[in-house]
Chains A and B, each alone.
Chain A
Amino acid sequence: AQKITQTQPGMFVQEKEAVTLDCTYDTSDQSYGLFWYKQPSSGEMIFLIYQGSYDEQNATEGRYSLNFQKARKSANLVISASQLGDSAMYFCAMRGLNTGGFKTIFGAGTRLFVKA
């Protein structure tokens, strides 16, 4: 069975500082993808970043980077130079790329508060 664990219900960060949101996962699939989504108060799900299990380099997208440690089964999101608009809910997610009907499962989420 697949499982995503986010152990930080809430995080505070000072504006312009970096913050790391933790995510660990469990899967028996050999090929899988890891995602991070942002959900502001409006409710929409905004795709941030993707890491494939066979990707050798950590994914980066602008101020977002994914610290992928396959042996430890962790996929932490790093947000650099936090902005007030980064205040939102963040979800880590995973999908088996060859099995499981391509279903994506989500962690419980971390609410990020950026302080001015």
Chain B
Amino acid sequence: SAVISQKPSRDICQRGTSLTIQCQVDSQVTMMFWYRQQPGQSLTLIATANQGSEATYESGFVIDKFPISRPNLTFSTLTVSNMSPEDSSIYLCSVKLTGPSEQYFGPGTRLTVT
């Protein structure tokens, strides 16, 4: 299994500002993902965080808005840039281990943009 922590757990930010969310895993993992969950909605994959190279973004998400870093196999950051109220969501870090069923999620970061 994997233990994932995220910082901050929640934040209230003003529109136009940026917030960086950290994800720390207790073991080295190859595959790390960032998801967004808007209020009352399901989870949507933002990007796959690749170690040592640029993240792979899903349709509808761009690097300028959601820059991602992955400096090593245990850590990643997601920045939500130039925030608007529509960015109010839970942002979840997730990792996949070697077994097909092994996908774990962090506790999430609850972001409110005013």
A-side residues, CB < 8 A to B, are: 33, 35, 37, 43-45, 47, 50, 52, 91, 95, 97, 101-109
Contacts and interface: CB of A to CB of B under 8 A. Distances in A.
B103 interface: yes
A-B interface, 8 closest residue pairs, ranked by CB to CB distance from nearest? A50-B101, A45-B105, A106-B43, A106-B42, A43-B108, A33-B100, A108-B42, A109-B42
B92 interface: yes
Interface of B: 31, 33, 37, 41-45, 48, 56, 58, 90, 92, 94, 96, 100-101, 103-105, 107-108, 110
A43 B108 CA distance: 7
A35 B103 contact: yes
A111 to B, nearest CB: 9
Contacts of A97: 100
A92 to B, nearest CB: 10
Contacts of A95: 100, 103
Main secondary structure of the interface of B (DSSP, over half): strand
Contact of B107 (A44, A91, A109): A44
A57 B45 CA distance: 30
Given A43-B107, A45-B105, A108-B41, 16 more contacts: A35-B101, A43-B90, A43-B108, A43-B110, A44-B105, A44-B107, A47-B101, A52-B100, A91-B42, A91-B43, A95-B100, A95-B103, A101-B48, A103-B33, A104-B45, A106-B42
B101 A33 contact: yes
B50 to A, nearest CB: 10
Contacts, number: 51
Contacts of B42: 91, 106-109
A59 B40 CA distance: 29
Nearest to B101: A50
- Residue with the highest number of chain B CB atoms closer than 10 Å, among A35, A45, A102: A45
Contacts of B58: 103
Contacts of A50: 100-101
A48 to B, nearest CB: 11
B102 to A, nearest CB: 9
Contacts of B100: 33, 50, 52, 95, 97
